[in-house]
Amino acid sequence: MKKFILGVALLVTLAISFTGCRGEEIRVFNWGNYMDESIFAEFRAQTGIRVRYSNFGSNEEMHTRVTGGGGAFDLIFPSDYMIERMIREELLLPINFDNIPNIRYIDERFFYLPFDPENRYSVPYKWGTLGILYNAVMVREIAGDIVVDSWDILWDERFAGNIFMYDSMRDSFTPPLKRLGYSLNTTDIDELTAARDMLIQQRPLVRAFLGDLVKDSMIGNEAALALVFSGCARFSMGHNSDLNYVVPREGSNIWFDSMVIPRGARNQAGAEAFINFLSSPEIALRNTLYTGFTTTNWATLEMLPDEIRNDPAFWPSDEVIGISEAFIHLGEFTAVWDRAWVEVLATR
């Protein structure tokens, strides 16, 4: 017994001493495929700080990990409504902007947005829209000279089995709510059930509710229409020239992903150094070209070739921005939305 206890004690001591001598590091928690990971080596060469990188698949998953004790992080990349929720739940630390001189390269239109009205907790990283990615050749084969500019096409019975929806509650509810002329942030049970019924009515036409997989499936001509984020659309369009992206005229969702530092971060200065690094025009350019997602960096935008800047999947027009609505946190009403969403998924 004594030997056993001694052995355990020895192992614990070893484990502790190994964690103690690794040098400075930051723990970064980001969406999958949302950063060119080769820049970590450069960051380490410049600052000596090692990046420990892990990924999440949705804002809600990230929130569960951060609050459920699944791991502590120094820098996270949530979206607008989740930042609002985390500020309200006092999960974030105010950012010291003195440590981020490159903030001057970030376009001012992304500051003081409603989810962070005092602009204290977040630094904009990427932004974009939600829209329809369509295969122009397949659409023409199925429905002739139809113009893809409305959510109505996702309820067009000619496209039965040719529609991919997105496996995400708030994004999949965007088309029916906008079609009905309601807010994307509705907390009115009648509006929500009307949208739910519209999604249930659409079920026979939907081939699948996909996540990231939709990018590859659209490249492989698996369906004619898909509900996707603008950046995903750009990625797929880069691999299949038949693909096009449109934000329907009824309006859509405009979203922002920003960098935040959670309470409990062990290396705030390191995280701020990394924000500064990511906000430099050259690094932002590399991330933009790698991910296909739209940059918030005006200096980077000027470095991009015209074909990218003029692509509506990359840079939405002011008109599109005007009719788009950002998500806000639904609070307690989230459970009602979830029930409605489960009913959509469980009804056949």
Partner 1 sequence: MKRIFVYPYILWMSVFIVAPLLIVLWFSVTATAPDGTVFTFYHFTRFFAPAFEGQPFFQRIYIAVMTRSIRLAVVSTIVCFVLGYPLAYALAKFYSHRSFLLFLFMVPLWMNFLLRTYAWLTILEQNGVLNAVLSFLGLPTVDLLFTDTAVVIGMVYNFLPFMVLPIYTVLRDMDNSIIEAAQDLGANRVQVFLRVVFPMSMSGVISGLTMVFMPAVTTFVISNLLGGGQFILIGNLIERQFIHVGDWHFGSAMAIILIVIILFMMGLIKLIDRQPKEPDGATVERGTLY
List residues binding partner 1 (CB under 8 A).
1, 4, 58, 60-61, 63-64, 67, 161, 167, 169, 189, 193, 203, 206-211, 213, 217, 220-222, 334-336, 338-340, 342-343, 345-348
In angstroms, give the least distance from the CB of 37 to partner 1.
20
274 Cβ contact partners less than 8 Å away, ≥ 6 residues apart = 26, 28, 43, 49, 51, 75
Q: Quick one: 239 or 266, whose CB is closer to partner 1?
A: 239
Burial of 327 (0-12, 13-18, 19+ CB in 10 A): buried
In angstroms, give the least distance from the CB of 34 to partner 1.
18
Q: Quick one: 158 or 249, whose CB is closer to partner 1?
A: 158
Q: Quick one: 42 or 89, whose CB is closer to partner 1?
A: 89
The count of other CB atoms within 10 Å of the CB of residue 257 is 24
Q: Does residue 149 contact residue 249 with C-beta atoms inside 8 Å?
A: yes
Q: Quick one: 41 or 136, whose CB is closer to partner 1?
A: 136
How far from the centroid of its chain's Cα atoms is residue 329's Cα?
Answer: 15
Strand ranges in 167-275 using DSSP code E only, listed in sequence order: 206-210, 225-229, 243-246, 254-262
The dihedral sign for the CA sequence 63, 67, 69, 75: positive
Cα angle 182, 184, 186 (rounded to 5 degrees) comes to 70
Q: Quick one: 1 or 147, whose CB is closer to partner 1?
A: 1
In angstroms, give the least distance from the CB of 65 to partner 1.
9
In angstroms, give the least distance from the CB of 320 to partner 1.
28
In angstroms, give the least distance from the CB of 273 to partner 1.
31
Q: Does residue 139 contact residue 224 with C-beta atoms inside 8 Å?
A: yes
Q: Quick one: 257 or 272, whose CB is closer to partner 1?
A: 257
In angstroms, give the least distance from the CB of 196 to partner 1.
9
